[in-house]
Amino acid sequence: MMYSIIETLKKNQLSITDSRKKILELFVKAKGALAHADIEHQSGTEFDRVTIYRTLQTFVEKGIIHTIPTSDNSVRYALCKDACTEGHHHDNHVHFMCDVCGTTYCLDNITTPDVKLPEGFRSTQTDLVVSGVCAKCAN
């Protein structure tokens, strides 16, 4: 953690509100990625559903979090390690999704390969999603 939650919000020119502090805190504490529903449950009845949607949207726009394509096509968001410190470089993520517990891990130390695309295709983003069983669920 290089920056505090409040500093991260300020750096991104966002007003400091309860919901933003709380939701960003959830991401910082979370080991893996969070779905909208996770946030809704973990924050209790504290915030309106709509506020959560809008907060997530705002965070994505500012590059604080990013969405993860998952093999079950549920929407998940993650704050990767460099997200706080380096900004918008969300091009080379490898994610692991556990089929048992559903946790999504960011494998920050692995980078995506370069893919040779057919003639005329241009790539802007590459996502590599590995599904399987995580270490915790292996036993």
Partner DNA sequence: AATATTTTGCAACAATGTTGCAATGTTGTA
Partner DNA sequence: TACAACATTGCAACATTGTTGCAAAATATT
Footprint on this chain of a second copy (rule: CB under 8 A): 67, 69-76, 94, 96, 99, 107, 110, 112-113, 115-136, 138
User: How many CA atoms are closer than 13 Å to the CA of 64, on its beta-carbon side?
Assistant: 26
Residue among 17 and 123 whose Cβ is closer to DNA: 17
Minimum CB distance to a second copy, residue 46 (Å):
25
Query: Binds 18, which of DNA, a second copy, none (CB < 5 to 8 A, cut-off by type)?
Result: DNA
| Distances in whole angstroms, Cα of residue 106 to Cα of each of 33, 73, 83 | 8, 17, 12
What does the binding site for DNA look like in residue numbers (CB under 7 A)? 14-20, 36-37, 46-51, 53-55, 57-58, 73, 75
Closer to a second copy by CB, 2 or 130: give it: 130
**Residue 63 interaction partner, one of a second copy, DNA, none, beta carbon < 5-8 Å per kind:** none
The first and second tokens of residue 7, run together, are 């500093």
Residues 105-128, buried b or exposed e (16+ Cβ, 10 A)? bbeeeeeeeeeeeeeeeeeeeebb
Scan for tokens 């005329």, then name that residue: 120
Whichever of 44 and 119 has its CB closer to a second copy, that residue is 119
